[in-house]
Structure 1
Amino acid sequence: MNDSGAVLPWLVIRQDDNGNHYRVGRYATRDEAQQMADSLDADGHQQLYWVERIGQPAS
């Protein structure tokens, strides 16, 4: 939770060229997180972006 008490269970994750994973942001809905991942992916970067729910094992 953040200071406002909102729950943000969806993460956007980035994987760099060396296989390192970084949290890009947290979002309230899967759709919101997916839109951000898609927009980052469309910027032409070579990194991989995906959406995960907090507590969900990575696939």
Structure 2
Amino acid sequence: MAFLPFSDFHAPGIVVPALLALLGLTLSVRLTASSIVIMGSVEPSKGAAAGARL
């Protein structure tokens, strides 16, 4: 990932799109994992919206 700031975006070749795809995949996996942890740490009765019926 340290290569991206020094890369030429006018002629990216295959390296820049591959690194951007890898960066996007990494960020999406981390966001999904943190959401799963947050949702798993709350009791279902307290996690519902106020006044919502299950």
TM-score, structure 1 length as denominator?
0.27
Higher RCO (CA-CA < 8 Å; seq separation 6+) = 1
- The structure richer in strand per residue is 1
- The structure richer in helix per residue is 2
TM-score, structure 2 length as denominator?
0.30
Q: Report which of the two structures shows the higher radius of gyration computed on alpha carbons.
A: 2
